[in-house]
Structure 1
Amino acid sequence: MNPLYALEGLNFFMADVQAGIGPFLGVFLQAQGWHTDAIGTVMTLGGIAGMLATSPAGALVDATRYKRGLIVVAGVMTTLASLVLWVSHDYWMVAASQILTAVTGAALGPAVAGVTLGMVRERGFDRQFGRNQVANHAGNVVAAALSGWLGWRFGFGSVFVLAGLFGAMTVISTLLIRRDSIDHDSARGLGASSSKEREHAGGFRMLLTCKPLLLLAASLAMFHLGNAAMLPLYGLGVVAAHKGDPSAFTAQTIVIAQLVMVAAAFFASRIIQRIGYWGVILITFLALPLRGLVAAMFINAWGVWPVQALDGIGAGLQSVAVPALVVRLLQGTGRVNVGQGVVMTVQGIGAALSPALGGMLAQHFGYKVAFLVLGAVSIGSLLLWLFFGSALKKACGIHRDSANEPSLAT
């Protein structure tokens, strides 16, 4: 098998593994009698654990030559952690499951990015990572649609069975990637550099001196503080208003967003070529305030279409542009995957706090206020991106290595 097809298959099946049962967690726990503030808190615990794990996970990806094995172990552990929820709804058991899911899932993002970079090098990264994300979002669509139908037809237990099946397929897809198709020096951003350059590859201190990287991470942190809780909270708001079946409606919210993300990821590399990384990320920051306003105005079954379409535009473009920009900024340092982990960690701070903030606002002030506040928070990322626009535009310029890249097409 062409290893790139296996890589795309990995991204497809990994979609239902990386975040456990994802947005279904909120409505699942709500069905067990949990309140929104408790749901938000337990999701925040998982977010914090994932945030703390991503930078070490990135460093491990840079250091190890067993990247396929790392993906297999992380995929298996994440799937098992999700299945724990099937047998126990105790608060601390759920919290432990979310922590383990987040910690093991944290390794999957940098590992897949590193494997991709090692297979296609920097020159082919934008295009291939876009294809990866198309497969990943398509996997989310299929998993969400199946989860919604199975949950409605057979109950929530079938959602966990589906998660186990996708976990098994993730392992199989990973093993179908040939070991010799990954250049581990290129995978960490060293390419054809000398052994001396490898020996003195930059460390965490180097990352702290990269101002554009820090600005990117800080902007994403504010964005995800407003964005992360929006999808599960919107599902809870509509279900609480008795506007839809929990499983079916939650699946609908995911499917709509992921379908838009498929299109956004497909065109992302072309848009980057036209307006650059800075312009693409600016578009994603503009989408969230509008999303919060629409969510506050239309808490009903049909409102999910514009709310989740806006999420698809923002998240779909970011899923390609952000990793590709990190590769661009850190190429030649040998610390690309640590950089990916650091960006994920900082944005994870916002994502981890978002469910607790959203749950608290919804509990005490109502869903409309929660959506307006979450949308307004992200204006900070927009202001930061614009204020440092000139410096960021220069750093975000499109660059490709002139070296010829080996082809994996045959």
Structure 2
Amino acid sequence: MRTIVTVNRAKTRHRKDDLSLDGLSFLLADVQDNLGNFLTAFLTIQNWPSSRIGAAIAAGGLGAVLARFVGGWALDIFCGRRLMLAVCCAVTFVSVAMMLWVPLFYPIVVAHFIAGGAGALFTPILAAISHHTAGARGYIERMGRNESFNHLGNASSGFLMSLLGRLIGPVAPLWGVGGLAAVSILFVGGFSAQADEPSGQPPEAASVRETLRAVFTLLSEPRLAIFLATYLLFNVANGAVVPLMIERYAFLHLGDPAVVTAICIVIAQITVIPPFLVGF
């Protein structure tokens, strides 16, 4: 009898963790991927010059780069993954609210820098939680499921944002992104304590010299260096396509930039969803 109760509890815990991961992957997709695009549409409507829009968007990218560097280190030594995820959701909501309440250059640059950093941590935190809740054997399948819900969330949110943008205006998609971040906190509370379990291996502090030596060893590998350079160039080229298109669209007065942004997001995500669903 005791064994049956233990198994049932484990299954219930696993279902709760799966539900929370599905919900967060779905809701946070638009938050981490499309905030900059909707911000570009909003600033274009505010008649910001291209140089200032570019600076504001670049601030989010800089925040994301720094956050991934620090966040990876923090995940290795800090087990409070649920707390980290909840803080990132709350910080994103506050940052978006600040952009809308104080639409000035420096406040928006600072807010997008912070929001970009918070959004960049969602994926590694969810990956760490997936590893601890699904286990080593189920990790790959769980990550594939995360990606499926991520792209489905991007497409669904993009469609919703297009409706909000058409009915209310360019401010609505930004409030929608902030609202998704706030609602996500509810799913964070659905995780079991297993999400915060330590890795089982005591963290070992590496010296600065050892860290630099490891980095140099990785970068000295030709194949890895080529891959990193290619990946960087692709993201530099690909990441600016939608913001530049939005600016050009608004400059020519062809319609509502917020609606066009959402449509581009929906089309892109719909084409990506099917490959991830093949295994399910």
Q: Where on the TM-score scale, by shorter chain, does this alignment land: which range? A: 0.7 to 0.9
User: Structure 1 residues 132, 104: CA separation in 2 closer, same or farther (over 3 Å shift)?
Assistant: same
Cα drift, residue 251 of structure 1: 0.9
Matched, 1:4 2:11: no
Cα drift, residue 220 of structure 1: 1.4
Equivalent in the alignment of 1:115: 129
Identity of paired residues, percent? Answer: 25
Deviation string 1:77-114 (CA, Å, 9 cap, x unpaired) is: 01110111111221111111111112222322221121
Equivalent in the alignment of 2:140: 126
Equivalent in the alignment of 2:276: 265
Q: Distance in 1 between matches of 2:233 and 2:151?
A: 23
Deviation string 1:238-263 (CA, Å, 9 cap, x unpaired) is: 34333332221111011111112222
User: Structure 1 residues 208, 79: CA separation in 2 closer, same or farther (over 3 Å shift)?
Assistant: farther
Alignment of 1:288-299 (within 5 A): none
Deviation string 1:248-282 (CA, Å, 9 cap, x unpaired) is: 11110111111122224334x79xxxxxxxxxxxx
Question: Does the 8 Å contact 1:17/1:79 carry over to 2?
Answer: no
Equivalent in the alignment of 1:33: 47
Where in structure 1 are there 5+ consecutive unaligned residues?
A: 271-410
Matched position secondary structure for 2:47: coil
Equivalent in the alignment of 1:230: 241
Q: Distance in 2 between matches of 1:201 and 1:115?
A: 24
Of residues 16, 24, 27, the one that matches 1:13 is 27
Matched, 1:168 2:175: no
User: Structure 1 residues 66, 122: CA separation in 2 closer, same or farther (over 3 Å shift)?
Assistant: same
More helix by share: 2
Matched position secondary structure for 1:117: helix
- Which amino acid counterpart does residue 176 of structure 1 have in structure 2? G
Q: Distance in 2 between matches of 1:215 and 1:9?
A: 36
Matched position secondary structure for 1:16: helix
User: Structure 1 residues 32, 72: CA separation in 2 closer, same or farther (over 3 Å shift)?
Assistant: same
Alignment of 1:361-372 (within 5 A): none
Q: Distance in 2 between matches of 1:165 and 1:38?
A: 26
Alignment of 1:235-250 (within 5 A): 235-250=246-261
Q: Distance in 2 between matches of 1:62 and 1:208?
A: 21
Of residues 60, 75, 79, the one that matches 1:61 is 75
Question: Does the 8 Å contact 1:50/1:103 carry over to 2?
Answer: yes
Q: Distance in 2 between matches of 1:249 and 1:158?
A: 14
Of residues 228, 232, 253, the one that matches 1:221 is 232
Question: Does the 8 Å contact 1:144/1:251 carry over to 2?
Answer: yes
Q: Distance in 1 between matches of 2:107 and 2:145?
A: 37
Equivalent in the alignment of 2:106: 92
Cα drift, residue 200 of structure 1: 7.2
TM-score by length of 1: 0.58
Matched, 1:153 2:167: yes
Q: Distance in 2 between matches of 1:22 and 1:265?
A: 25
Aligned CA-pair RMSD:
2.5
Of residues 206, 217, 223, the one that matches 1:209 is 217
Q: Distance in 2 between matches of 1:178 and 1:237?
A: 47
Equivalent in the alignment of 2:9: none
Q: Distance in 2 between matches of 1:217 and 1:172?
A: 37
User: Structure 1 residues 8, 176: CA separation in 2 closer, same or farther (over 3 Å shift)?
Assistant: same
Cα drift, residue 167 of structure 1: 1.5
- Which amino acid counterpart does residue 35 of structure 2 have in structure 1? I
Cα drift, residue 209 of structure 1: 2.3
Deviation string 1:194-253 (CA, Å, 9 cap, x unpaired) is: x6xx54789734344233655443331111111110122123323433333222111101
Equivalent in the alignment of 1:138: 152
User: Structure 1 residues 218, 266: CA separation in 2 closer, same or farther (over 3 Å shift)?
Assistant: farther
Instruction: Give the number of aligned pairs.
Output: 260
Q: Distance in 1 between matches of 2:19 and 2:128?
A: 16
Where in structure 2 are there 5+ consecutive unaligned residues?
A: 1-11
Q: Distance in 2 between matches of 1:41 and 1:173?
A: 33
Matched position secondary structure for 1:265: helix
Deviation string 1:166-201 (CA, Å, 9 cap, x unpaired) is: 122211111111112565317xxx6xxxx6xx5478
Cα drift, residue 115 of structure 1: 1.2
Matched position secondary structure for 2:30: coil
